[in-house]
Amino acid sequence: MHAKENNREVALVKELTKHSEAAFRRLFEMYSHEVFAYGKSILRYDVYAEEMVQDVFLKIWLNRATLNPELSFRSYIFTITRNLAINFLHRAANDHKLRREIFYGRQEVYNQGENRMDDAYYKKIELLAIAKLPPKRRRIFELSRKEGKSYEEISNELGISVSTVKNQMSSALETIRNFLFSHGDVTFIIVFLLFGLS
């Protein structure tokens, strides 16, 4: 950022800390498009990216009195955007309907044409990734991820040690992760990395 632009940003943030609505509107005009683009790159759909913009700037407005004008405002808003996006994906990972909307592109109204991957494609990726696993490892993975069993329960069911279950799961996740990097799209990979490894 050029010195002149930086000085203008600092001045606007100072005004914002004094509850200036005009400064807030100007900062919104300066950064809302970038926040939208960043949000959409993670969340895929315009509607979610638009909500992200609203949430980011609402958070900024509510915390305006505590802003530090000497720190980069641009870095601050993108940190907020990233954190909110991760929270959204975390919520999606635990909400069946939302997960299908984000991961499988079920919302036809927000169809992105050639950029949209349909259910069959995602299901194929998932099945192919799991099929890459050796039979024993695949069984352990399915017991954990599909049946929701603990490592101890899997250990008892298969007659193996808990440490063996952990090692097999670690290897399974690495295989699937590598497969997704080669065949999946960015949102699918991000969610797997963030929430599929816990």
Residue 116 has pLDDT above 50, yes or no: no
pLDDT in tens, 39-72: 888 777 778 888 888 889 999 999 999 999 989 9
CATH class of 3-95: mainly alpha
All structural domains of the chain with their residue ranges:
3-95, 117-195
Architecture per CATH, 117-195 = Orthogonal Bundle (1.10)
Residue 58 CA to residue 117 CA, distance in Å, equals 32
pLDDT of residue 6: 72
pTM of the model: 0.50
pLDDT of residue 168: 92
Q: How far is CA 113 from CA 40, 85, 102, 156, in A?
A: 15, 23, 15, 48
pLDDT of residue 123: 65
pLDDT of residue 179: 74
Mean pLDDT of 30-35: 90
